[in-house]
Amino acid sequence: MTEVLLEVKELKKYFPVAQGMFYRRKGVIRAVDGVSFQVHRGETLGLVGESGCGKSTLSRVILQLFPRDAGEIRYRGRDVEELDRSQRSKLRMVFQNPYGSLNPKEKVFSAIAEPYRIAGGYSRQQIEEEVLHLLGLVGLSPAHARRYPHELSGGQRQRIAIARVLALEPEFIICDEPVSALDVSIQAQILNLLKDIQEEFGLTYLFISHDLAVVKYICDRIAVMYLGKIMEIAPARALYAKPKHPYTRALLSAVPGAADQLSFERIVLEGDTPNAIDPPSGCRFRTRCPYAEEVCAHEEPDLTSCGTEHFSACHLLHKLAG
């Protein structure tokens, strides 16, 4: 295994919920509730789960867009709060909606040039050369530099957002649903672009998605999140061939056309995800798990090793092993 670039330990992020005329605190949403994982240099770790499971909040806490409530986030062994500006610029993010991440009044040139202007120390000519170089890297021409975001297609806008993120030589990029707002025909192009630039620059990705087909295509390892916790984490191949956790099995059961190829009993998820203000006791998945037993209501299962780099948080891990 290569060097650990990012290490997250027992990370927690709660959002207070207020109610009534005097906005009295009613409780907290446990968006991220004790999450631990490592990302190794050069790999792509996928983070999957239903909407509201906490995966996007987790990414924003890592980048310090939200303060954490507890836990550690270490980048190359240093707490992210101790990183200086140039070290922080090594951690970047590609957002789901490229239109939202670009200023509609700003031409493409300015959008890509901005990180260089903020960093300082670059001449006008150097910035121009960098912008044109980055446009070429993401498959666009110099002519695109003179356009506004609304003059571009969704795929082109996401290419611009990626070019901007590549400025100043990043090392670690969080991709938050980077293709889910795009047409299916464009998704593969953007995924291939992300793969190509990863190989060329030795980038490391944390790739967030609700789409298991997309994650399978691009990720080396995958972490499955439910209600603020990681339920299973494994190499991609092992997770798809032999998922251990009932929630992972339920997600894979729901992939269109997958029913005939499952190596386990199909699970149809029923009901909604419980409220993160008051998650179920014990195992958080127990209210939707077809295998739940009494112990599941009383004790929270730990992530337990069940194969090479494969961990699952389920009391019935060995009983259900397939």
Residues of this chain that bind ligand SF4 (CB under 6 A): 246, 283, 285-286, 289, 291-292, 296, 301, 314-316
Tell me the C-alpha distance between 213 and 205, whole Å: 17
Place of tokens 């439910």: 226
Of the pair 115, 246, the CB lying nearest ligand SF4 is at 246
Cβ distance 212 to 222 under 8 Å?
no
Residue 113 to residues 131, 155, 172, 188: CA-CA distances in angstroms?
6, 20, 20, 27
Residue 220 to residues 41, 44, 252, 260, 312: CA-CA distances in angstroms?
12, 5, 17, 24, 17
Minimum separation from the CB atom of position 280 to ligand SF4 (A): 9
Give the DSSP H or E segment for 78.
strand 78-79
Tell me the C-alpha distance between 295 and 283, whole Å: 9
Minimum separation from the CB atom of position 288 to ligand SF4 (A): 8
Minimum separation from the CB atom of position 34 to ligand SF4 (A): 16
Minimum separation from the CB atom of position 171 to ligand SF4 (A): 36
Tell me the C-alpha distance between 57 and 17, whole Å: 16
Minimum separation from the CB atom of position 229 to ligand SF4 (A): 11
CA 272, distance to chain mean position in Å, is 22
Minimum separation from the CB atom of position 309 to ligand SF4 (A): 20
Minimum separation from the CB atom of position 62 to ligand SF4 (A): 26
Cβ distance 120 to 171 under 8 Å?
no
Of the pair 13, 286, the CB lying nearest ligand SF4 is at 286
Pairing of strands 78-79, 229-235: unpaired
Tell me the C-alpha distance between 129 and 133, whole Å: 6
Minimum separation from the CB atom of position 222 to ligand SF4 (A): 17
Tell me the C-alpha distance between 257 and 253, whole Å: 9
CA 74, distance to chain mean position in Å, is 17
The counts of H helices and E strands in the chain are 11, 12
Tell me the C-alpha distance between 244 and 316, whole Å: 9
